Structure 1
Amino acid sequence: MSIPFPVHIPLVEHLGLRLERFADGEAELSLTLDADVHTNSFKVAHGGLLMMMLDVAMAHAARSRNKDAPDGGPGIVTIEMKTSFMRPGQGTLRAVGTVMHATAKMAFCEGRVLDEAGQICAHATGTFKFLRALPVSGRATQALSRVPLQGDGSD
């Protein structure tokens, strides 16, 4: 039986991920693949979907350490993530995230996506930063500009 996500994440909800466990530095998500939504041209789970499941599972593992704080604790953002793919994801998938080490500002996590048989489909490690608020409102955006490098023929 799934539990509610502690925060509203529209993409996660839209894709149908379910939060199964969220406590003590661990989180587990599940997803039953929909061939019309979640798969690639080979009709197996899209790699980007597996990466998102890993990211969300690890971030929720880190967030679970503060879940009993009065305000739910700080938010969290991904700083970096490394993913390895082992086998195609099919059927109902499970993503498990675990905190390996955490400080007041950072969490270092590990995650894996497993298929119905419990075989590993993908593995990741990630670094996450705790934030009270993400400073995005009122920020001006600028187009990227190319800075020529010496010797690249654009001098």
Structure 2
Amino acid sequence: MEFQVHIPFVAHLGFALRRWADGEAEITYDPAPEHLNSFNVVHGGASMTLLDVVMAHAARSVQTDMGCVTIEMKTSFMQAARGPLRATGRLLHRTATMAFTEGHVFDAQGKLCAHASGTFKYVRRLPVGARESQPLNGPAGISTD
């Protein structure tokens, strides 16, 4: 299954979308050596990115014409993550503009490595090649790219 939108950082990490439907998402990730920390386990930032992406996909799975942006995320690490990982995300509740989700990261033995909760805001997605009239950040009228 292909990601609907190309996100360069997600492609760089090598995430693979396995499920994306009915308020649920599953992504697998085989970390490369450069994704490890000084203890030779998956860097927490890579695990948090995995959780962020899987929860966002769970939120978007019920309304695929919208994008969503992270409002807040809380992550708890239970144990070091090693080897191929599997992340699951689930939509817990949604309103017209917000999604409340949870996510889990499991190692190859099925052990829970990390848990997260996240809140996402639904945003309209621009057609490919379109640009907003105002930048997303920075003073009005000053381009930040």
Instruction: Give TM-score, length-normalised by structure 1.
Output: 0.81
Q: Structure 1, residues 123-143: CA drift from partner, whole Å, max 9, x if none?
A: 00000000015886643736x
Give, in angstroms, the shift of residue 103 of structure 1. Answer: 1.2
Q: Tell me the residue number matched to 2:2.
A: 4
The alignment status of 1:14 with 2:12, answered yes or no, reads yes
| Counterpart-to-counterpart distance in 2, 1:137 and 1:61 | 29
- Of 61, 70, 74, the residue aligned with 2:66 is 74
The alignment status of 1:29 with 2:27, answered yes or no, reads yes
The alignment status of 1:107 with 2:110, answered yes or no, reads no
Which structure would you say has the larger Rg? 1
Q: Tell me the residue number matched to 2:44.
A: 47
- Of 50, 58, 62, the residue aligned with 1:61 is 58
- Of 123, 128, 140, the residue aligned with 2:120 is 128
| Counterpart-to-counterpart distance in 2, 1:80 and 1:136 | 24
Q: Tell me the residue number matched to 2:142.
A: none
- In structure 1, the gaps of 5 or more residues are 68-72, 143-155
3-state SS of 1:94 partner: strand
Which amino acid letter does the alignment assign opposite residue 16 of structure 1? Answer: G
| Counterpart-to-counterpart distance in 1, 2:28 and 2:78 | 18
Q: Structure 1, residues 89-126: CA drift from partner, whole Å, max 9, x if none?
A: 11100111000001111100000100001111000000
Query: How many residues are treated as equivalent by the alignment?
Result: 134
Identity of aligned residues (%): 55
3-state SS of 1:48 partner: helix
Q: Tell me the residue number matched to 1:153.
A: none
CA RMSD of aligned residues (A): 1.7
Which amino acid letter does the alignment assign opposite residue 84 of structure 1? Answer: S
3-state SS of 2:51 partner: helix
- Of 67, 70, 88, the residue aligned with 1:96 is 88
Which amino acid letter does the alignment assign opposite residue 60 of structure 2? Answer: R
Which amino acid letter does the alignment assign opposite residue 110 of structure 2? Answer: G
Which amino acid letter does the alignment assign opposite residue 41 of structure 1? Answer: S
